[in-house]
Structure 1
Amino acid sequence: MTLKATLLASTCDLKDCPALYTTDRDTLLVQGETPTDHGLEIPAHETLVEIPMELIRKVIREQLV
């Protein structure tokens, strides 16, 4: 079954900006930059995504979750 994602909020109108999506699995997807200078040990099956705090503020302010 394919995951269905719905855009919650983005920091711009383009598709290549940080964004937050809801899914039909009752989860969130985060789109953002992949940092390489974090110095953390991340398992191979996971990743880190960096997003601006303004994106989270926008979701809270607009009560999108």
Structure 2
Amino acid sequence: MRMRFLGSTSEAGACPTLYETDRGTIVVQGLQVTDAEALADLRDVLDGEGAVEVPRELLTEIARRVLFNDSTTVFSGSGGTPSATG
């Protein structure tokens, strides 16, 4: 699997960050939710799944860019193409 940087609301490329994959999916990089009460609210969590908290502003900004197909902005500042195995 290959990923391309979409954006972040954090400084210096820290998380949370969103990526799009060559599989047509979105990958979220962020701090794992560890609060027991919050985790108890999750439904149907499969083995290997986890929860990541993402600011609403990040999702709305990326959605706006993608919906308007502004690919020059969506992928700017990626500093390369991150990759992962899959």
Length-normalised TM-score, structure 1? 0.77
Length-normalised TM-score, structure 2? 0.61
Identity %: 40
Equivalent residues, number: 63
Name whichever structure is richer in strand by fraction: 1
Name whichever structure is richer in helix by fraction: 2
Matches within 5 A, 1:21-36: 21-36=19-34
For structure 1, which runs of at least 5 residues remain unmatched after alignment? none
For structure 2, which runs of at least 5 residues remain unmatched after alignment? 70-86
How far does the alpha carbon of each residue in 1:2-54 deviate from its partner, in whole angstroms, 9 at most, with x for none? x1100111113423221110001111100111111122363321111110001
- Greater relative contact order (Cα < 8 A, sep 6+): 2
Q: CA RMSD in A?
A: 2.0
